Structure 1
Amino acid sequence: MKKIDFQYLLFYKIHRSEILKNSMVRLENNPEIDKEQKEKLRQFISAFIAFLMIQMKNTKIEEDALHYWVQMHSNDMPITKSNTFQVIVFDSFKSVLSQLHHPYEEELLLFHNELLSKVTSLYLAWIEDPPNSIDIKQDYMKKLDAFSEILIQCNGTEDLPYLLTRTEEIFSFKRCIFLSYNPWLKEFSGAIGEELSKVQLMRGKIESEPVFSLKKPLFLKKPDPYVQQAAIELFNLSSIIFIPITFERQLYGWLTLDQQGDTFDCSKLQLDVLEQVGIRIGMYLARKQMGVGVKYPLDLTEKELGILHLLSEGYSNKEMAELMFLSEFTIRDYIQKLMIKLKAKNRTQIISRAFRMGLID
């Protein structure tokens, strides 16, 4: 079957222009499809052929790659016209194939039909509403509203650490990282989040991650093949969500959300909501900065804040005790309280989480 895979992809590579043109003519001449549906189907068919061209380097169509492609382009397919897509692309392929008397004509037609059926099945499975979808949707909308309220309070890039922390809390993720993108240099210029030091280790390599060329929201149940193995190991990745941050076609960067090594599921409904988060952050970054940024609403005493700032400057317990006129035992007690309040495991995490919450800068 691998030979037919390759022959199929090779045929598409050679005759993609004729197949695409044939498909567009059939689509345009179909009186049962309205203008808006035609535009969506044009995008979906064009993207499908582009996907096959990418698969050419593998000499076969990867199952996971097909699944992720369907997920990313599900909004380009009119729900009621999934069968129309299948018929148009099958007939267009068959028409071009028949004219050439290809030696594998029968096998290629069978493979083509099975592939289109699989695309349709994956599409219908992805867009299927989960049980209790009305309640789930209402819950997601409440979370999106809560996120929007936080966004209104924030101001500019200085509040992004705080915003990321609240995003984790509202949408129940253990880790949220913002990767900023420089459109003029076409490279990632920095990162905000708990894993900043690890992102810096990957500097110069992040741009080559395949996922960043997609420019669409993507949920990866398994990070292969869109994330390099080095990044998977460094960040302890299992499942992960990528959300582009855009505004008026300007790409500001990407938001990644995951559970720090734990595998999880994500529905289309959830991904659509998180896409809105990305759009709203893009609008937020585009707006004029004004006023003073917000601080994380955490109840810290004056002494705890003082010790927090000294910790961030690298002072030892002994040095802090002398400066604060306290015993080292009391300093250790304060540090323990900070760990509890900030949900940190050690001194390093205290500083990292305090930075992200906007408590220190």
Structure 2
Amino acid sequence: MIKPVQFILFCKIYRTQLMQNINSYIQLEQELTAKEREEMIAFSDHFLQFIIKQHDSEVPDNLTNQLQLFIQVHWQQATGPFLNKFRAIFEQSTLRLLFDQKHPQIEPLFMFLSNSMVSLMQQYYVSLDQSSEHTALDVSSLEQMDEILIRASSAEELPSILEELKAIFQFKRCIFYVYIPWKNEFKGMFGDQLEIVQNIKGKLTADFPIFSLKQPLYLREPHPYIEDEMIEKFNLSSMIFIPVADENQLYGWLELDQKGEFFPYSQMQLDTLALVGKRLGLLLSRKPTTSHLEKHSELNDKEHSVIYLIAEGYSNKEIASILFLSEFTVRDYVQRLLSKLQAKNRTHLVSEAFKRGIL
């Protein structure tokens, strides 16, 4: 029997050829619609990236726990029939590649893959059973959050609400990442170590699958889904991610943790936090008050452009180049914005702009 690292390296070396085979087999599946083919290709690519990423962290003796994590991340997309079809295509594609390459370890590599696929299916059905068994909620904590949200008048109060959420659910850290739909990006907005948080941003790609979640996710260990730089900066260990959404509108995600300390979780806790995420989404969906709208109208087009670019992390010199202004003019705009939004610095300015619905 081969070791996991051997299979991981095989996937890493032959990733391109493997995806070509997978794509070919998917196109041969006549019963799949065009959309289902696209979903299967994307799912296969995510799975392959997931396997390859295991090589960047400590390679475990088996991949069972990691496969459970993969299922958690892709729960919305995965169904029994979908996974069975995926398994058949992935195994066929791998076997074809092994024979084409005249690989010396055809049988052990294929057996390892087959066992991993069995484990993947088992993890799916275990998760399915758990989701149907656990219906209890932490009613007391949920009622406390409801009282806070009822008192809240607008998204402007989100930072203080997150502080209260942190206390109610007994977490040491809570970070809010905002979703930017027109760029399909995420960006850190509120939380501990604010300047570091607001420098975190990225595209919603397979490299950041946790930022594509539509349900809560518990990570026992941050590898391999969290970048090493973030793990080091925030001293990350176990964490929980919660999507913040209202109906079909995604606003962002909450990240909750104990500042480097491992902690277990319960399904009741995740289900309760999922409802909190929906309630926060409802809060963010509220229209700004008239007074806020009047304040926003005081910003002219250039000021709006400057504040958007500041939020993206551009310097005054870079903003001047983009907007065809002098650096001195940009500096004046920044000072004017700080005054209008009563902000102390650029970081505070971005925070205020988001709270007031400008960003």
Q: TM-score, normalised by structure 1?
A: 0.59
Q: Which residue of 2 aligns with 1:214?
A: 211
Q: Which residue of 2 aligns with 1:52?
A: 48
Q: Which residue of 2 aligns with 1:176?
A: 174
Mapped to 2, the partners of 1:181 and 1:76 lie a distance apart of 20
Distance 1:175 1:266, change over 3 A: same
Does 2:167 correspond to 1:164?
Answer: no
Indicate conservation of the 8 Å contact 2:138/2:269, yes or no.
yes
Q: Which residue of 2 aligns with 1:285?
A: 284
Q: CA deviation at 1:285?
A: 1.1
Mapped to 2, the partners of 1:186 and 1:107 lie a distance apart of 41
How do 1:94-113 residues align onto structure 2 when only pairs under 5 Å count? Answer: 96-97=96-97, 100=100, 102-103=102-103, 104-113=105-114
Mapped to 1, the partners of 2:140 and 2:41 lie a distance apart of 35
Q: Which residue of 2 aligns with 1:199?
A: 194
How do 1:1-361 residues align onto structure 2 when only pairs under 5 Å count? Answer: 1=3, 2-23=5-26, 25-26=28-29, 28=31, 43=39, 46-53=42-49, 55-56=51-52, 63=63, 66-78=67-79, 81=81, 84-85=84-85, 88-89=88-89, 92-93=92-93, 96-97=96-97, 100=100, 102-103=102-103, 104-129=105-130, 137-140=135-138, 143-144=141-142, 147-148=145-146, 150-183=148-181, 191-193=189-191, 195=192, 198-201=193-196, 203-205=198-200, 207=202, 211=208, 214-216=211-213, 217-229=216-228, 231-247=230-246, 251-267=250-266, 270-290=269-289
What is the identity, as a one-letter code, of the residue corresponding to 1:93? S
What is the identity, as a one-letter code, of the residue corresponding to 2:107? E
1:242-262, Cα deviation, whole Å (9 max, x unpaired): 223345665533211112333
Q: CA deviation at 1:160?
A: 1.0
1:289-330, Cα deviation, whole Å (9 max, x unpaired): 34899xxxxxxxxxxxxxxxxxxxxxxxxxxxxxxxxxxxxx
Q: CA deviation at 1:149?
A: 5.2
Indicate conservation of the 8 Å contact 2:154/2:288, yes or no.
yes
Q: Which residue of 1 aligns with 2:335?
A: none
* SS class of match (1:255): strand
Query: Which range moved further: 215-224 or 42-51?
Result: 42-51
* Identity rate, percent: 29
Indicate conservation of the 8 Å contact 2:210/2:225, yes or no.
no
1:112-152, Cα deviation, whole Å (9 max, x unpaired): 2022122223333444439xx86x63224665465445434
Indicate conservation of the 8 Å contact 2:189/2:197, yes or no.
no
Mapped to 1, the partners of 2:143 and 2:21 lie a distance apart of 47
Mapped to 1, the partners of 2:223 and 2:40 lie a distance apart of 24
Mapped to 1, the partners of 2:21 and 2:275 lie a distance apart of 37
1:327-356, Cα deviation, whole Å (9 max, x unpaired): xxxxxxxxxxxxxxxxxxxxxxxxxxxxxx
Q: TM-score, normalised by structure 2?
A: 0.59
Distance 1:9 1:60, change over 3 A: farther
Q: CA deviation at 1:190?
A: 5.7
Distance 1:21 1:169, change over 3 A: farther
Mapped to 2, the partners of 1:82 and 1:100 lie a distance apart of 27
Q: Which residue of 2 aligns with 1:331?
A: none
Mapped to 1, the partners of 2:229 and 2:141 lie a distance apart of 33
Mapped to 1, the partners of 2:46 and 2:276 lie a distance apart of 28
Could you tell me which runs of 5 or more consecutive residues in structure 1 were left unpaired when the two chains were aligned.
30-34, 294-361
Mapped to 1, the partners of 2:87 and 2:187 lie a distance apart of 45
* SS class of match (2:199): coil
Aligned length: 279
1:153-174, Cα deviation, whole Å (9 max, x unpaired): 3222222133213423443433
Mapped to 1, the partners of 2:180 and 2:90 lie a distance apart of 41
Distance 1:47 1:22, change over 3 A: same
1:19-40, Cα deviation, whole Å (9 max, x unpaired): 24525755838xxxxx9xx988
Structure ID, larger Rg? 1
Indicate conservation of the 8 Å contact 2:179/2:252, yes or no.
yes
Distance 1:124 1:264, change over 3 A: farther
Q: CA deviation at 1:71?
A: 1.4
Mapped to 2, the partners of 1:57 and 1:138 lie a distance apart of 35
Q: CA deviation at 1:42?
A: 7.8
What is the identity, as a one-letter code, of the residue corresponding to 1:226? Y
Could you tell me which runs of 5 or more consecutive residues in structure 2 were left unpaired when the two chains were aligned.
293-359
Q: How well do the aligned residues superpose, as a CA RMSD in angstroms? A: 4.4
Mapped to 2, the partners of 1:139 and 1:57 lie a distance apart of 35
1:73-111, Cα deviation, whole Å (9 max, x unpaired): 123223x54873575335533674487474343233212
Indicate conservation of the 8 Å contact 1:4/1:107, yes or no.
no
Mapped to 2, the partners of 1:192 and 1:121 lie a distance apart of 38
